[in-house]
């Protein structure tokens, strides 16, 4: 089981990630991405899916048309770990390619 | 605006589609798909996304690991139209490739 981040570590972890915030009493981090259309939104998801699979750490996410809502949490640890921050960072790197 | 299906047409439309059911007071149809892992689940989504984009009719869906939950509705019509049944049929054709 991966080590949970402390509250201070979570805050520091998302401080540089635009639009990410804590949710579910600090057990997850979330962001809503808005793209110009479905193709861009799903293109983003496909690129992220590839990276998530390489990390073996998967998002919980929903999509409707140009919108992608993401919830990151480490289920085995019941909260936010360094893996969630890492995956959020990867999403932030990928998103601009589709905006 | 596309023509809404009647209640009888909705029932007939999903009668042949295994696991699909009405939701939200008959304004949408839903199904939860379970695959063996994330790669299969996302592979299914990618194939469906391509077909949905060709139809210009998009699902509302969420994914966590091997699970894909789908809600189909025609937003402009505030309910279920022939396009939703068509997209559900396409999903049923695609899903077995990933099961």
B63 contacts on A by Cβ (under 8 Å)? 59-62
Q: What is the DSSP code (8-state) at residue A98?
A: G
In angstroms, the CA B67 to CA A82 distance is 24
Please give the pLDDT value at position B1: 86
Across the interface, which of A49, A53, A64 has its CB nearest the CB of B60? A64
| Higher pLDDT pick, B67 / A1 | B67
Closest C-alpha among B13, B15, B63, B10 to residue B38: B63
Please give the pLDDT value at position A1: 86
Residue B21, C-beta contacts closer than 8 angstroms, at least 6 positions apart: B14, B29, B30, B31
In angstroms, the CA B64 to CA B81 distance is 28
Q: Calculate what percentage of chain B has a pLDDT beyond 70.
A: 100
In angstroms, the CA B8 to CA B57 distance is 22
Residue B23 β-bridge partners: B28
Please give the pLDDT value at position B80: 98
Please give the pLDDT value at position A63: 98
Helix (H, G, I), strand (E, B) or coil at B99: coil
Closest C-alpha among B85, B87, B39 to residue B66: B39
Average pLDDT over residues B37-62: 98
- Asked if A38 and B61 come within 8 Å (Cβ–Cβ), the reply is no
Segments of chain A with pLDDT less than 70:
none
- Select the residue from B62, B66, B69, B84 to test the A interface by mutation, using most A Cβ atoms within 10 A: B62
Helices of type H across B1-99: 7-15, 38-55, 82-94
Q: Do residues A46 and A59 make contact, with C-beta atoms less than 8 angstroms apart? A: no
ipTM summary value: 0.95
Residues on B contacting A at a C-beta cutoff of 8 Å: 38-39, 42, 45-46, 49, 52-53, 58-65
A72 contacts on B by Cβ (under 8 Å)? none
């Amino acid at each position: 089981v991966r080590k949970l981040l402390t509250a201070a570590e979570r805050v520091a972890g998302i401080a540089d990630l635009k639009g990410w915030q804590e949710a579910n009493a600090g057990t997850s981090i979330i962001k809503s991405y808005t793209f110009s259309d479905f193709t861009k939104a799903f293109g983003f998801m496909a690129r992220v899916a590839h990276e998530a699979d390489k990390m073996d750490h998967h998002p919980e996410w929903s999509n409707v048309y140009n919108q992608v809502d993401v919830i990151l949490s480490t289920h085995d640890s019941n909260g936010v770990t360094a893996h969630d921050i890492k995956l959020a960072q990867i999403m932030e790197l990928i998103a601009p390619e589709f905006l």
